[in-house]
Each structure stands twice: as C-alpha cells, then as structure tokens.
Amino acid sequence: MIAAIERHIGARHNAGPVRRIDTHGAVILLGETHAFKLKRAVDLGYLDFSTVARRHAACRAELVLNRRTAPDLYLGLRPVIRGADGGLILGELDPGKLDQGGADDRDALDWVIEMRRFADDALLAGIADRGELTQGLLRDLADAVARFHDRAAIVEGHDGVERVHRVIEGNRAAMAALPPGMLDADDGAELVRRWQGLLDAHAPMLARRAAQGHVRLCHGDLHLANICLWQGQPTLFDCLEFDPDLATTDVLYDLAFLIMDLCARGLGAAANRVFNRYCDRRPHEQEGLGAMGLFLSLRAGIRAHVGALGAVRQADPARAIAAARHYLTLALDFAAPHEAPARLIAIGGLSGTGKSTLAGALAPLVAPAPGARWLRSDVIRKRLAGVEPEVRLPPESYTQAASARVYAAMLAEATDDLAMGRDVVIDAVSGSARDREGLARAAAEAGAGFVGLWLEADDATMIARATERSAAPGGDASDADVSVVRNQIAHRPAPPVGWVKIDADKAPDAVLAEALAACAIEA
C-alpha cells in the first residue's frame, strides 16, 4: 500500500523523493504539495485500528473532526483498491462525498486521508524553538483556540469530577507500570496525592462547569506540534480522533495542554499571553481558572509517563528519559501548594507611559503558573461594547459614565480572580482618586495585598509611543492616539499618594526591574 501511495504522489503531485514519517498509529507520506496518511493495522489498547472497518471509521472521524479547525487542509478520503491489472492504486475522491471517499466501501482494501501539505517550517513547535513566536502570533493563536471552543459541541450528561478522576487514575496506573528507576516513584506518589487534593478542592466547581456546558468535544491533543501556520493564521489540526471520550473534556483542560507546552519550553511569557488573551475572549471561563494548576499538572504528568515509556524506542533514550523527568518536575511545580495571599498589582499612568508593556512583562513572573490575570481597561471597554479588542470605538464610548462601567466590570472580575487566589495585574490610567480608591478597596475586600505602580514619562516619550502604537500592524486595544495623549498631558494629575512612582522613560527592562522590586517579586 505504501508503494501505491508513493506511485500516486509521483504521478500527480511531484516527481521528487517522497518523505515518510512513521508514528505509532500511522504512516504519513509527504509529496511537494499533498500529504497522505495511512492508519497502521495495530491494536494498542487505547486505540484499535486492527480491521479495515475500524481504520475507515477512524479516517472518517479524523476528517470530520479536523475540518472543524482546518477545512482547507483535510481534502478527503481515498480508497485503496485494485486496479485493472490487479495492482493496488488509490481511488478517486468524490467531490460530493468527501467524508465517505470516492468508491463503494466494499471495494476498498484500506483508506487514506489526503491533505494539503503545509511548509516544513510552519509548525508552531519549530517556530517556538526558533524564538519566532511574536506577540501578534500569540494573539492570533489564543483567538483561534477561543473560537474553536466557542463552536465546539457541548456534551451533556458527563460528570466533570469523575472525568478528571479517571485522568488521575490513568496517570497513577501508567506511572506505577513504568520500569523501576525511569521516574522517581516517591515523586510520582506525591504528585498523585497533590492531584487528588486539588480535585477534592475543586470538585463542586468542576461539577458546576459540566452542568453549565463547559465540557465539550475538544481537540484533545492541543500542543504546538499540532498547530501550524496556514495562509498566515495559526491552524489547529491532528486532533484526538480515535476516542471521542478522551477528547470530551473541560475546555480549560484542552487549553492547558497548549499552556503547559509553552511553559515546558521555557516560554512562560508566551504562555501568559495566550492564557490572558483566551480569558479576555472567553470571560465566562473565569470560575474555572482556579483549576488551571491541576489541569496543567495533569497534562505535564501525562507527558512524563508517556515520554518515559517510549524512551527505549528513541534514538537517544537518555535524552528522552531526561525530558520525561523534566515533565514530572513541572507537574509537581504546577500542583504545588501556593500559600501566599493573592495580590492586586495596579499599574497606572497616562497613555503612552508604557503600562501595557510593563503589565505584559510583569504578569508572567507572578506565581503560580501561568502567571497573573492581566486585566486591561482597553480590552474590557471593547468587550462591553461588543467589538473585537482591536476595533476602534467612537468618542461616546469614552464618556465618564462609560468609563465608570468599565472600571466596575474590571473590579468585579478582579475581585473574583483574587477570591480564587490568583494574582491580578490591573492595566488602566487610574487617573482619578475614585478609581484608585476602588482598586485598593477591591483588594482589601478580597483579603488580598495591594501594590500601586505609577508610571511617569516625558511628554515627548508619551507622544512618540502613542504614534508608534497607532501605526502598529494588527492594531492595539488602546484607542489613545496623540490627541488623547496631549489632552491627558494638559490635565495631568499629581502622582497618587501611596503608589510607587517609576520613571518610565527608562528602558523596559529597567522599568520592569523597579516594578519587581516594588512588588517583592524575584524574577
């Protein structure tokens, strides 16, 4: 069958060599413009492709499920059939029945998924390794995941607590079955204890989320190697298709795989950006954020035992085992008790002083992972107006009454986050005493600490930054152009009492260092 696919590629798509990729469940053959995926005739326990009928069903499921996010990539199914000379060939796609393939099922000896091929350097895993995850790309990535979860089918009748319990038990059993010495047994036992403690603490909330529709048919395998750039946009592909039950999960557990993957690569700032942008786009997920530590830890734990088990099949087993142990350490860190009280860190100052630059740099450094919730008044204003964050609003959206509604919504969200124990970074002008008093009061009512950081910069610096931001590709949530900045300068408030004043004319790293010192955060 491999030869039949290679002949098809050579005849129709290119005359050059065909590249082959082998996975535990499939063989993938790459031509210049198309890719063909043949399921292996295997039964691995958790997936069963042992018969033609099972492979056909899995191919159809893969096609249908991945077309939710990558319809341009997944072209359809081709049957493997006998040609006139008795040799194996690929049948034709039927344009009207792409989900079924182009031949009578009875004639098919097997089935192949045909895809468009994306560039070798388009995988986000490689882009991340090359240090090329730009802020715009991270924004688009979070938006893509949020849109997918918006549309994902709600699965009713599932116990959100039991579902997580099964994941814990699966991880416990898998770790216990590993050969001695691959992963530290005491660490594994401690990890399971932490998971169970977190599940007990969050059980009522997880049950509510299941009842409210947060358990959906998700991607199930959402890490950077299953996301590519297609036509300039992050595109999710290769979802978990062989067992819909495994992919039926809380949407935040689905997101957690991506966040964990970024953290595991040492890209905590990127993880925090994706986390916050996703939360901005799906604010109704807020209650579930308390379980992010558990979700992140479970994802890392799975990677630990899967990596350890497969190490012997790797070209460099020692390196694979080291990676598995790294994931185990990460899983323990994600699930570690966080006893320090939450804090509200308010960053104020006129437009152009660099509040958002500082907030974006500070939020990832606030424990626990993936960092603080970054609440930006500009983003909340757009949400209340029902528009995308980068859409400019008319002047009537900036009246005193409108701004009061923005601050009220921001404080309400901050209070809920603080109550769950998550630190919050507020990014807003906070030019009036009433606004600043409201921030301090919200922290006090939540039993949280409070730090106010007031940024000041020269007029020329603020004007230059506003000009640069207005011209930035992709836009920005702030509508403050040069005219707004000049108006603020003309009515500049006195530095607030009790807030730490920071000279924002300095380089961003220097401003961040002062902010970290004021907040007693070790970078």
> Which of 350, 455, 376, 369 minimizes the C-alpha distance to 139?
376
pLDDT at 96 over 80: no
Angle at 305 between CA 301 and CA 310, to 5 degrees: 145
Say whether the peptide bond before residue 368 is cis (omega within 30 degrees of 0). Answer: yes
Domain finish residue from 91, 117, 143: 117
In a shared domain, residues 305 and 243: yes
In a shared domain, residues 104 and 136: no
In a shared domain, residues 217 and 309: yes
In a shared domain, residues 329 and 204: yes
Tokens at 305, concatenated: 């035992």
Mean pLDDT in residue range 105-133:
93
CB 425 within 8 A of CB 372: yes
Mean pLDDT in residue range 280-300:
98
- DSSP-derived pairing of the beta strands 500-503 and 248-250: unpaired
Mean pLDDT in residue range 74-96:
84
> Which of 52, 322, 279, 78 minimizes the C-alpha distance to 183?
322
pTM metric for this prediction: 0.95
234: exposed, middle or buried (C-beta count within 10 Å: 0-12, 13-18, 19+)?
Answer: buried
pLDDT at res. 61: 94
Write down the mean pLDDT value for the chain.
Answer: 94
CB 164 within 8 A of CB 335: no
In a shared domain, residues 96 and 129: no
pLDDT at 190 over 60: yes
Report how far residue 369's alpha carbon sits from residue 300's, in angstroms, rounded to the nearest whole number. Answer: 13
Report how far residue 451's alpha carbon sits from residue 111's, in angstroms, rounded to the nearest whole number. Answer: 61
pLDDT at res. 170: 95
Task: Show the DSSP H helices in 368-447 as ranges.
Answer: 377-385, 400-419, 433-445
pLDDT digits (tens, 9 = 90+) for 231-262: 999 999 999 999 999 999 999 999 999 999 99
Query: Residue 87's pLDDT band (boundaries 50, 70, 90)?
Result: confident
Task: Give me the domain span that covers residue 282.
Answer: 124-334
In a shared domain, residues 112 and 131: no
Tokens at 399, concatenated: 């009246």
In a shared domain, residues 300 and 354: no
Question: Rg of the Cα trace of the chain?
Answer: 26
pLDDT at res. 183: 97
Share of residues in the chain with pLDDT > 70 (%): 97
Domain finish residue from 302, 317, 334: 334
Report how far residue 400's alpha carbon sits from residue 389's, in angstroms, rounded to the nearest whole number. Answer: 20
pLDDT at 106 over 70: no
CA dihedral 186, 191, 196, 201 (to 10 degrees): 130
Domain finish residue from 82, 102, 117: 117
pLDDT at 513 over 90: yes
Report how far residue 515's alpha carbon sits from residue 421's, in angstroms, rounded to the nearest whole number. Answer: 21
What CATH number corresponds to the domain at position 220?
A: 3.90.1200.10
In a shared domain, residues 266 and 378: no
Tokens at 154, concatenated: 């709600």
Share of residues in the chain with pLDDT > 90 (%): 85
In a shared domain, residues 174 and 315: yes
Residue 77 DSSP code: E
59: exposed, middle or buried (C-beta count within 10 Å: 0-12, 13-18, 19+)?
Answer: buried
Cβ–Cβ contacts within 10 Å for residue 113, how many?
Answer: 23
> Which of 394, 499, 170, 493 minimizes the C-alpha distance to 304?
170
Query: Residue 278's pLDDT band (boundaries 50, 70, 90)?
Result: very high
Angle at 496 between CA 492 and CA 498, to 5 degrees: 165
Query: Residue 346's pLDDT band (boundaries 50, 70, 90)?
Result: very high
pLDDT at 392 over 60: yes
Report how far residue 485's alpha carbon sits from residue 466's, in angstroms, rounded to the nearest whole number. Answer: 7
CB 502 within 8 A of CB 357: no
CB 299 within 8 A of CB 254: no
- End-to-end Cα spacing for the chain: 55
In a shared domain, residues 104 and 6: yes
Overall residue count recorded for the chain in this entry? 523
pLDDT at res. 94: 56
Of residues 18 and 303, more confidently modeled: 303
Q: At how many degrees (to 10) do helices 317-334 and 292-309 cross?
A: 160
Q: Alpha carbon of 485 to those of 391, 398, 436, 468: distances in Å?
A: 19, 14, 20, 13
pLDDT at 97 over 60: no
What CATH number corresponds to the domain at position 512?
A: 3.40.50.300
Report how far residue 256's alpha carbon sits from residue 251's, in angstroms, rounded to the nearest whole number. Answer: 9
In a shared domain, residues 281 and 387: no
Place of tokens 């961040």: 512
pLDDT at res. 382: 98
Of residues 17 and 9, more confidently modeled: 17
Q: Alpha carbon of 243 to those of 7, 58, 149, 501: distances in Å?
A: 32, 9, 18, 55
What SS3 class is residue 506? coil
Query: Residue 101's pLDDT band (boundaries 50, 70, 90)?
Result: very low
In a shared domain, residues 513 and 379: yes
Place of tokens 């062989």: 242
Tokens at 299, concatenated: 């994802």
User: In the chain, how many domains are there?
Assistant: 3
Mean pLDDT in residue range 263-270:
98
pLDDT digits (tens, 9 = 90+) for 459-492: 999 999 999 998 888 889 999 999 999 999 999 9
